[in-house]
Amino acid sequence: MNRSMTTHPHDAPAGARLFLAALNRIRTGHLELITPCNTRMIFGDAHSPIAASLTLHDWSACQLILRAGDIGFAEAYADGRIDTPDLTALLRLALRNEAALEPLVFGGALARCWYRLRHWLRPNTRQGSRRNIHAHYDIGNAFYQLWLDPSWTYSSALFDGDFSLPLQTAQQRKYQRIIDTLRLTSGQRVLEIGCGWGGFAEYAALRGIAVHGVTISPSQLEIAQRRVQQHQLQDRVWLELRDYRDLNGQYDAVVSIEMFEAVGERFWPDYFRTVAARLKPGAQALVQSITIDERHFERYRSSTDFIQQYIFPGGMLPSVERFKRHAERAGLQPLAHHAFGPDYAETLRRWDAQCRVHQPQIASQGFDQHFMRIWSMYLAYSEAAFDEGRTDVVQFLLQKA
């Protein structure tokens, strides 16, 4: 076994030497590191097929990562102080060695407290939700159109093991599974909490199902309403700009696709009470949510990560266990759940590939290199988490008592 090279380059500052010492703890796979002085170093088992590469262009990146963990890594990557030919492979290697690389993954205590406070100050109140959603979904429909599939679906597709499927087909398979699971039929009325750009509403309405969809993103609503008019579905689809907490009436079913992650833990009880109140007695809801492994939940909850700071302010993932527990407290009985995390990893790979293809058009819309590198980090970070089982995506079937 070829263990790591432990001698430090002579010009490495103190922070960099601490960074290199931490890399000496890699036990699963190996990392090839190229230093600013063009020294090549190998950490871990050089014969392992689990491999990644990292180039340090500036020693200051080491101190930034030690201070702020994955958030510092993202900032160093966005600034061009570090680079890698395969960002997902590097992040997967970090996850597999997380316990050994704890200072590099989670950062220092002071930075964790600061980022946690910053996250706490962006709660999903009615006003806060509009602000947080605007920060992500209202950056431009023209941007999302470049890399989403033609259904404008911004959630995990369902491949069912067949990764040869076109992405749009896999998204439609996901919508059909929702309809089949809820046993929806023509003429029934469905509430969709978080209708996005209208993908599910259009798909269901074309099969005779009436959909009332709500969103708090004006940009999304604009596209969704345009699709309704294009297919002349005004008699079956009603979409509006409204907070889910301001709804009334009862429906034959409730659907909510990857909106729960934006609710925030403080507001989980409100969300489940709303779902229960909007269902007719005995009716069912299907909620699709990204989840985090229960073993990692407390640590995740007590700090914040790159996604919460830069991509989804105010966001919070549940574990499967906590999702079910909160649902039960609101009078919703969990009947079944279907997990398909590998499908989300594949969905993210497709999105990333399209973003790369359309980089010139994205740049022409005014998005600079810093934004593009943050966005690449977001997609790779998420892909690695799904591939390594840190996160999952789950469809929960709930029934009102």
How much is the pLDDT for 140?
Answer: 86
pLDDT of residue 369 exceeding 90, the answer is yes
Helix (H, G, I), strand (E, B) or coil at 85: coil
| Average pLDDT of the segment spanning 81-90 | 97
Name, in order, each residue with C-beta under 8 angstroms of 234's C-beta and a sequence gap of 6 or more: 228
Per-residue model confidence (pLDDT) at position 306: 76
DSSP code of residue 259: -
- Tens digit of pLDDT for each residue in 21-31? 999 999 999 99
Beta strands 332-339 and 51-56, pairing class: unpaired
Residues 282 and 331: their CA atoms lie apart, in Å, by: 11
Q: What is the CA radius of gyration of the chain?
A: 22
Express each pLDDT in 113-152 by its tens digit.
545 555 555 555 555 454 544 445 557 899 999 999 999 9
* N- to C-terminal Cα separation, the chain: 59
What lies within 8 Å, CB to CB, of 84 at 6+ separation is: 52, 53, 54, 55, 90
Q: Label residue 355 exposed, middle or buried (CB < 10 Å: 0-12, 13-18, 19+).
A: middle
Alpha-carbon distance of 226 to 206, in angstroms, equals 15
Measured from the Cβ of residue 296, the count of other Cβ atoms closer than 10 Å reads 14
Best CA proximity match to 266, nearest among 83, 91, 122? 122
pLDDT on residue 128: 47
Q: Taking the model in full, what pTM does it have?
A: 0.89
- What pLDDT, on the 0 to 100 scale, is given for residue 303? 73
List domains and CATH numbers for the chain. Answer: 14-107 (no CATH), 126-400 (3.40.50.150)
Amino acid at 59: W
For residue 307, the 8-state DSSP code is: I
- 396 within 8 A of 327, measured Cβ to Cβ: yes
The CA–CA distances, whole Å, from 293 to 277, 334, 361 equal 29, 18, 37
3-class state of residue 100 by DSSP:
coil
Mean pLDDT of 375-395: 96
Q: In Å, how far are 111, 173, 236, 239 from 191, measured between CA atoms?
A: 41, 20, 12, 10
Average pLDDT of the chain, as a whole number: 90
Confidence at residue 106, expressed as pLDDT on a 0 to 100 scale: 66
Q: Which of 45-49, 67-71, 167-171, 183-187 has the lowest mean pLDDT?
A: 67-71
163-215 pLDDT, tens digit per residue, is 999 999 999 999 999 999 999 999 999 999 999 999 999 999 999 999 999 99
Task: Return the residue matching tokens 């929702």.
Answer: 178
